[in-house]
């Protein structure tokens, strides 16, 4: 019996050992298989020219992508080991790849609802063309209670601006409200003025101007800056669903331009439909762009400035999606030169009343708001056009730094149309970002009709510093200010290097006009000739322009560890062009559109389809 039991026990032990051995073998096999699968890429881009924009400016040939992240980078042979049964392989056939583009200052949702639900006239110039487009829209929408739109250019009128009678001729029974292309003035008809209660006796609101007929004193039809708020109650209000529809529309446009990251520079605290549209789309996984933004603060809020800062901070804590975060507050330090509301250090040249422009915030109010925001760890993002605006904003930021102490705040000035070298140095010392717009670095009708007479030749020739900011050590990112300009990186790269309007732009907008264009980058200024914008020393290299559109934009919004360059572990955000900008002539840039955009490892735009 004992022998039988021994045999049974021995057999059982042997069986258990065999099972154990099989289990270990199976586990090892599974581990090997899992390890193999973990190395299989979801996507391989190969046989291309890949500008990584890393710290060494590495140029690669292929990229492996897995789970929306960059798995590896290198030559085509090295990437073959990541190819599995389910790997999507894209043969670039010599095409050029860059990191997805950042637009460091724009107005996506606000602009999108205008494009989708109203009339936009920015694709034409001239009063007759505006009237035709607005009239066609009004006729096509007889049920709309308000005709609303945007996009006219202030350079088409004198200082008084467009007149109400022009819009009255289109429709005098419904209010017509048109916002200028720069967003700083509004053209309205008599019905809009009537419903808003704006008369000859209505005073200019603080920070705004009601332009008046020089003979009668009656409102002429142009409302500037804060005066636009006088018609706010009769303007169209958009629903959350309309914002969502418009955002989905506009992100397709952005993706077609290679844009994968944007900064929304004016998120209204008093409009939940606006920011909740972003939030819901992000939570639903429907955003194919990464949105950062700034809550808008206005000194007109008065005693509510501090409560609104608190509100913004609380709301930001509820925005947990990585594709929609609000980590900044937006300020206007001044307005714009074309409305004579940009703040200058020296008076406007064309006026004899010692006019410097509009200072939006008092020194004390700005410093107080900045101190509270900075102490909470949020960024400060400031619209700064004139050199006077830059100076008092930097004064406030320096004062806050002394109170709160130094930190990696990366506060930002956007536009930077005029700035002294001393203030550029101060920006560098504080680790700030300058968001610049190569799209505006040109001699055009705005230059000849507004900037040249308003500023005088010397200041007009010092506009839009770029290389000087880089020389001082300021982080420079790039923006379109959409809808003021549309993101278009071949165009931006061209203008950053030339400070000249591209041929295609001139042909589209000005052919047949009294203006001419000269492509000679050494040409001198000649009235009504679109030549290169002085100063030639502000032209930048292609490499610096690309850095502004990629890794510098990521640094602006603290995203450089996740995106902005093509490196292992970063988000797989790429833009692909047929041709290499480094190897083609400048005049060929306009014939090199985006062919594909990839966001988080997924193709979100394919120009081949």
Helices (H), ranges, 197-304: 240-256, 272-283
Structure tokens belonging to residue 604: 């979100």
Compute the distance between CA of residue 350 and CA of residue 454 in angstroms, rounded to an integer: 5
The share of the chain scoring above pLDDT 90, in percent, equals 88
For residue 493, give the nearest of 419, 581, 580 by alpha carbon. 581
* pLDDT at residue 64 greater than cutoff 90: yes
Q: How many CA atoms lie within 13 A of 93 on its CB side?
A: 2
Residue 280 to residues 47, 116, 206, 454, Cα–Cα distance (Å): 39, 19, 36, 45
Residue-level pLDDT at 32: 44
Query: In this predicted model, which residue has the larger pLDDT, 236 or 275?
Result: 275
Question: Are the CB atoms for 356 and 388 separated by under 8 Å?
Answer: yes
Binned at pLDDT 50, 70 and 90, residue 35 comes out as low
Binned at pLDDT 50, 70 and 90, residue 183 comes out as confident
Residue-level pLDDT at 21: 52
Q: SS3 for 598?
A: strand
Residue-level pLDDT at 156: 87
The sign one gets for the Cα dihedral 225, 423, 427, 467 is positive
Answer whether the bond into residue 483 is a cis peptide, omega within 30°. yes
* Domains of the chain from N-terminus onward: 40-100+601-606 (2.30.40.10), 119-234 (3.10.310.70), 240-563 (3.20.20.140)
The share of the chain scoring above pLDDT 70, in percent, equals 94
Compute the distance between CA of residue 60 and CA of residue 49 in angstroms, rounded to an integer: 6
Residue-level pLDDT at 5: 46
Binned at pLDDT 50, 70 and 90, residue 27 comes out as low
* H-run or E-run covering 268: none
Spatial CB neighbours of 403, under 8 Å, sequence gap ≥ 6? 371
Phi-psi region of 100 (alpha: psi -120 to 50; beta: other; left: phi over 0): beta
Phi-psi region of 554 (alpha: psi -120 to 50; beta: other; left: phi over 0): alpha
Compute the distance between CA of residue 562 and CA of residue 567 in angstroms, rounded to an integer: 9
Compute the distance between CA of residue 118 and CA of residue 115 in angstroms, rounded to an integer: 6
Residue-level pLDDT at 33: 45
Structure tokens belonging to residue 25: 């073998």
Residue-level pLDDT at 26: 52
Q: What is the end-to-end Cα distance of the chain in Å, rounded?
A: 81
Residue 394 to residues 294, 378, 420, Cα–Cα distance (Å): 19, 17, 12
Residue 167 to residues 131, 196, 347, Cα–Cα distance (Å): 7, 16, 33
Residue-level pLDDT at 345: 98
Taking residues 165-171, report their average pLDDT: 96
Binned at pLDDT 50, 70 and 90, residue 12 comes out as very low
Residue-level pLDDT at 484: 92
User: Whole-model pTM?
Assistant: 0.89
Instruction: Tell me the average pLDDT of the chain.
Output: 93
Residue-level pLDDT at 496: 98
Q: What is the pLDDT of residues 70-86, one digit of tens each?
A: 999 999 999 999 999 99
Residue-level pLDDT at 327: 97
Q: How far is CA 279 from the centre of its chain?
A: 18
Cβ of 515: how many Cβ atoms within 10 Å? 17
Residue-level pLDDT at 17: 42
Compute the distance between CA of residue 555 and CA of residue 544 in angstroms, rounded to an integer: 14
Query: In this predicted model, which residue has the larger pLDDT, 206 or 375?
Result: 375
Q: How far is CA 60 from the centre of its chain?
A: 28
Taking residues 280-302, report their average pLDDT: 97
Structure tokens belonging to residue 55: 């710290």
* H-run or E-run covering 486: none
CA angle 540, 543, 549 (to 5 degrees): 90
Answer whether the bond into residue 539 is a cis peptide, omega within 30°. no
* pLDDT at residue 7 greater than cutoff 90: no
Any idea of the CA torsion for 447, 450, 455, 458, to the nearest 10 degrees?
20
> Partners of 606 in the beta sheet?
596
Binned at pLDDT 50, 70 and 90, residue 181 comes out as confident
Compute the distance between CA of residue 381 and CA of residue 388 in angstroms, rounded to an integer: 17
Residue-level pLDDT at 18: 41
Cβ of 308: how many Cβ atoms within 10 Å? 18
* pLDDT at residue 22 greater than cutoff 70: no
Q: What is the DSSP string of 89-106?
A: EEE-TT-EEEEPEEEEEE
Residue-level pLDDT at 262: 98
For residue 454, give the nearest of 358, 347, 534 by alpha carbon. 347
* pLDDT at residue 197 greater than cutoff 50: yes
Taking residues 338-350, report their average pLDDT: 96
């Amino acid at each position: 019996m004992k022998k039988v039991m021994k045999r049974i026990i021995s057999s059982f032990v042997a069986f258990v050992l065999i099972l154990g051995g099989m289990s270990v073998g199976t586990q090892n096999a599974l581990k090997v298989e899992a390890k193999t699968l973990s190395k299989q890429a979801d996507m391989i881009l190969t046989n291309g020219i890949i500008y990584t924009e890393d710290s060494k400016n590495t140029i690669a040939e292929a990229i492996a992508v897995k789970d929306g992240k960059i798995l590896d980078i290198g030559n085509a042979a090295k990437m073959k080991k990541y190819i599995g049964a389910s790997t999507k392989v894209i043969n670039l056939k010599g095409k050029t790849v860059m990191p997805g583009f950042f637009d460091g200052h724009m107005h996506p949702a606000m602009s999108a609802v205008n494009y989708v639900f109203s009339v936009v006239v920015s694709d034409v110039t001239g009063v007759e063309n505006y009237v035709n487009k607005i009239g066609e829209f009004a006729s096509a929408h007889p049920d709309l209670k308000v005709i609303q739109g945007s996009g006219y250019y202030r350079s088409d009128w004198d200082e008084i601006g467009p007149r109400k009678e022009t819009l009255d001729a289109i429709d005098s029974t419904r209010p017509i409200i048109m916002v200028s292309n720069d967003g700083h003035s509004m053209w309205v008809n008599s019905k809009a003025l009537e419903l808003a209660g704006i008369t000859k006796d209505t005073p200019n609101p603080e920070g705004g101007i009601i332009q008046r007929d020089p003979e009668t004193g009656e409102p002429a039809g142009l409302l500037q800056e804060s005066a636009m708020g006088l018609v706010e109650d009769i303007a169209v209000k958009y629903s959350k669903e309309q914002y969502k529809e418009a955002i989905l529309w506009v992100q397709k446009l952005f993706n077609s331009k290679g844009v994968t990251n944007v900064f929304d520079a004016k998120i209204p605290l008093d409009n939940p439909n606006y920011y909740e549209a972003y939030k819901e789309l992000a939570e639903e996984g429907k955003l194919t762009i990464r949105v950062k933004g700034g809550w808008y603060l206005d000194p007109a809020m008065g005693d509510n400035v501090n409560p609104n800062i608190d509100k913004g901070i609380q709301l930001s804590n509820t925005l947990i999606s990585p594709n929609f975060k609000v980590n900044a507050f937006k300020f206007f330090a001044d307005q714009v030169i074309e409305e004579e509301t940009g703040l200058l250090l020296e008076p406007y040249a064309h006026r004899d009343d010692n006019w410097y422009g509009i200072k939006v915030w008092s020194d004390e109010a700005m410093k107080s708001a900045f101190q509270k925001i900075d102490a909470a760890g949020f960024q400060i993002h400031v619209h700064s056009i004139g050199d006077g605006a830059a100076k008092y904003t930097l004064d406030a930021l320096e004062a806050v730094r002394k109170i709160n102490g130094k930190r990696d705040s990366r506060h930002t000035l956007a536009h930077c149309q005029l700035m002294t070298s001393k203030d550029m140095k101060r920006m560098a010392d504080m680790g700030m970002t300058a968001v610049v717009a190569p799209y505006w670095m040109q001699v055009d009708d705005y230059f000849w009709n507004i900037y040249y007479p308003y500023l005088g030749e010397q200041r007009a020739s010092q506009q839009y510093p770029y290389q000087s900011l880089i020389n001082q050590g300021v982080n420079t990112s790039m923006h379109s200010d959409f809808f003021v300009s549309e993101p278009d990186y071949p165009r931006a790269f061209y203008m950053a290097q030339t400070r000249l309007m591209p041929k295609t732009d001139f042909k589209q907008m000005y052919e047949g006009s009294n203006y001419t264009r000269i492509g000679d980058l050494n040409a001198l200024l000649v009235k009504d000739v679109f030549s290169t914008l002085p100063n030639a020393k502000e032209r930048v290299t292609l490499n610096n322009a690309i850095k502004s559109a990629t890794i510098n934009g990521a640094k602006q919004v603290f995203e450089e560890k996740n995106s902005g360059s093509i490196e292992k572990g970063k988000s797989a955000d790429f833009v692909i062009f047929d041709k290499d900008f480094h190897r083609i002539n400048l005049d060929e840039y306009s014939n090199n559109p985006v062919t594909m955009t990839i966001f988080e490892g997924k193709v979100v735009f394919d120009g081949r389809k």
